[in-house]
Amino acid sequence: MADSPTPEPSRASVPARGASEPAREPAFLQVHGDLLTTALQNFVLAQRFVGPYAVAYSGGADSSALLHAAARCWPGQVRAVHVHHGLQAAADDFERHGRQVCASVSVPLEVVHLKAHPQPGQSPEDAARRHRYAALAKAARHHACSVVLLAQHADDQAETVLMALGRGAGLPGLSAMPERFEREGMLFARPFLTFPGADLRGWLTEQSLGFIEDPSNADERYSRNRLRRRLMPSLAEVLPHFRQTFARSARHAAQAQGLLDELAQLDLAQTGMPPKLEALRRLSWARQANALRHWLTAVHQVRPSAAQLDELLAQIQACSTRGHAIELKVGAGRVYRDGNFLLYQPA
């Protein structure tokens, strides 16, 4: 990544907007006064989380709103974790800003320095994301925190859905970001998925709270930035409620994927783990694909592409004799046949 200019602390003046939605729909509420802290408290109560709480804090607008709201909700029970990737020249400025802010609100800050090296076939962005989650989980466990709070909001959710559509993703991709999930043995949660990003900035402005602008957000070499700067404003004009409707579609996709996961577990109970080829071949093509995808993702933490899954299914279909080999690279490892079983060997 090219060197970026030093970011300057900012006080955004974007007006808040939005209206409440019916029950069971995302509550896209106008953020003012203490509504944000009330919404954060209600989210944590509904999820039955208990303190202490870790906040993933970058110094940007979204995580700043989360940090300040959490510090007001639970004084003395909040810790901030800042992950320093060293991927841009401004990274040290983010750290300095974060230390100043956390000291001003009496929130302990842990800074984790990372050098994320991608594995063969892994993108630098994916490597950075995986290392970041691992670092956040480790820091939260070290301080006996029950959950790591993340600051993604409704615009991030809509962008994730659009990115998934753009790459032809299936239900897992279209499900976008869940409100809560477990990774690296730690619980993560996103309490702001029902708030547009402009509302979070508006709340910071009303509260006279500063944040730091990430210069990389303006770099249109990245697809998400192009989408955010060019497409999202047009969507807001054509489909004013696209954040709500995209979030609804993501929830529908997540529910459907949950059913497919349950079906895969039933089918894998019949095929065995690792799967037996004879039992796999008795399933329909679609159920074979669903079971194999679940096996690779849930057991081996690798997600096969559509082309890889199609090739694996074709090899299974052609596997009619005892000596017929199956060999396919998936992720950093390989799927292969061993007698009547299908196995996965990591790199």
Output 223 or 23, whichever has higher pLDDT: 223
Residue 50 Cα to chain centre, angstroms = 22
List, for residues 150-179, the tens digit of each pLDDT value: 999 999 999 999 999 999 999 999 999 999
Q: What is the mean pLDDT of residues 108-112?
A: 96
Percentage above 70 pLDDT, the chain: 86
CATH of 272-345, one of 1.10.30, 2.60.120, 1.20.59, 3.40.50: 1.20.59
Q: What is the mean pLDDT of residues 294-323?
A: 89
pLDDT of residue 31: 54
pLDDT of residue 28: 54
Per the prediction, the chain carries an average pLDDT of: 87
Output 34 or 17, whichever has higher pLDDT: 34
List, for residues 44-96, the tens digit of each pLDDT value: 999 999 999 999 999 999 999 999 999 999 999 999 999 987 667 677 888 99
Q: What is the mean pLDDT of residues 140-157?
A: 96
CATH code for the part of the protein at 9-240: 3.40.50.620
20: pLDDT confidence band, cut at 50, 70 and 90? Answer: very low
pLDDT of residue 15: 32
* Long-range contacts at 274-282 (CB < 8 A, ≥ 24 apart): 274/341, 274/342, 274/343, 274/344, 275/341, 275/342, 276/340, 276/341, 276/342, 277/316, 277/319, 277/337, 277/340, 277/341, 277/342, 278/340, 280/316, 280/342, 281/316, 281/317
List, for residues 85-104, the tens digit of each pLDDT value: 766 767 788 899 999 999 99
pLDDT of residue 325: 87
Asked if the domains at 9-240 and 272-345 fall in one CATH topology, the answer is: no
235: pLDDT confidence band, cut at 50, 70 and 90? Answer: very high
Domain coordinates of the chain in residue numbers? Answer: 9-240, 272-345
pLDDT of residue 90: 75
Nearest CA among 83, 72, 130 for reference residue 106: 72
List, for residues 176-228, the tens digit of each pLDDT value: 999 999 999 999 999 999 999 999 999 999 999 999 988 778 878 888 889 99
pLDDT of residue 222: 82
List, for residues 304-313, the tens digit of each pLDDT value: 989 999 999 9
